[in-house]
Amino acid sequence: MPRAPNAHGVCAANATKLTMSSEELAFLSVAEQGRLIRDRKVSPVELVQTCLDRIERYDGVLRAYITVCAEQALASARQVEREIAGGDYKGPLHGIPYGVKDQLCTRGIRTTVGSKIMADYVPDFDAAVVTRMNAAGAILIGKENLHEFGKGGTNVFFHGQPRNPWNPARNAGSSSSGSGIAPAAGLCSGSLGEDTGGSVRGPASANGVVGLRPTFGRVSRYGGVMHGWTADTIGPITRTVEDNAVFLSAIAGHDARDHLTSKRAVPDYTGALSGDLKGVKLAVVHEMAWADGVHPEVRTAFERALLVLKELGAQISDLSLPWTKHAIPLNMLTSDADVASMFVPLLRTRWKDFDVGTRTRLATAALVPAAVYSRAMRARAVVRAQILAAFERCDALISPTHLSPPALIEDAREKVESRVDVAQRLILRRITTHPYGTANVPALALPMGFTQNGLPLSLQIAARPFAEQTVYRVGHAYERATSWHRQHPDLERSLQPLLRASATAEGYRRWN
């Protein structure tokens, strides 16, 4: 069940390292951790070591990480400590430990993309987002687990099954699973994931944290092993909306090495966090909120969220976007074909080294005729136009991020053997997220409550292109009016049986 951290003013002016436990320190927001580091009340070495200790204790079960950069992270933390002591403070991310999905290249650190095929690949360069996070003074603590090659549908994870920290029998979300687990479990302060049709928002939803899919072109994809050229985005996963805005401020902006990045100026995202929603027009998308198959506890939580937003001054209406249901097959067909086009040689030579879910999906996509692909791309434009037209009537669109709580791991596997499987395993779980990937607009997932069994539920807010300030404004106001973001998983309770099993089996990081 959820547990709130001790609220005794650890971020107040008179706070010291002695007034909080390591668990309290781990679950502070980035904004709070940053202020304590800036004021030299918490050492970045202490914060990094706290995360490393938690990784050692819990990650043999959770499997959030593929590679942990312990020595490098501690060396960086000691350097940061010297810089701040010398008056060289770089800003709110200086000294903050972060992780990245293991499809983002890191100089001298292996980038496996979750695959046996890439298990030994060590790039000699950093992805643009890693360069920018490091320039802001953040400390890379590790590379996070994912579905193979960043595609959903992996059945057997080469680096171990990612598990939900609220209940390890439950799914931890889609492709960026490790990037959602890590901040939720206090194994880092925030992560960078990748979202094509929901792979940032899905893990954020399943793990009870905040995840943003930014506007396509807002963040450079240089150095990411990403082949869904027309939909892939890199976005932050954090414990609060403010932290998410801080991360985006660091990684957003034009990059000449990625010709699809926008030259628009990066606004002050944290400046949009006013808490005021008076006059803001929100619209509930019927097909994404009240569709057949919505879980009753999701419906109840969403109805309560609407009441909170109304109390904050938002004007809420309903609208229908009938074409959004087509976004799922259109987005999967086109993005899968994009990815498959890069892997045909490997499919021929390393067929048995792919997970069966990955190779089945890619081999199928490799057979899509060019004429079908072209028609699907034109149809995507029609879906996108309908979504963009909705923003002429409102400032943001809202819905649950997912229509069901996190499923049991076995039930979440995408084994399609019937029409019912297509509806439940492919369509229903994507109906709320894929439309915004198809439209390439920003969408934010944030905590919306819990089921009676303590599983996280999530609210989604989407806005017009480059309106990240709007989704942050709405999300932050809702977050401030609720307490969901202050609740964290009790890992000693939820993981205890598996921790005992791990200790008596093959040891740390071998339990699967």
Residue 156 CB neighbours (<10 A): 13
Q: Residue 238 forms beta bridges with which residues?
A: 190, 210
- The H or E element that residue 398 is part of is strand 396-400
Active site residues: 101, 175, 199
Give Cβ neighbours of residue 112 (< 8 Å, ≥ 6 apart): 66, 67, 102, 118, 119, 121, 143, 158, 159
Give the separation between CA 319 and CA 435, rounded to whole angstroms. 15
Closest by alpha carbon to 328, among 193, 426, 458?
A: 426
- What Rg, from alpha-carbon coordinates, does the chain have? 21
Q: Tokens in use for 343?
A: 């892997």
CB 110 within 8 A of CB 67: yes
**CB neighbourhood size of 235 (10 A):** 32
Handedness of CA 163, 287, 463, 328 (dihedral sign): positive
SS3 track for 381-396 = HHHHHHHHHHCCCCCE
Edge-first strand listing for the sheet containing 97-101? 65-68, 139-144, 97-101, 190-195, 233-238, 210-213, 443-450, 456-462, 396-400, 281-285, 315-319
> Which of 66, 219, 72, 238 has its CA nearest to residue 150?
66
User: d(Cα 420, Cα 379) in Å, to the nearest integer?
Assistant: 25
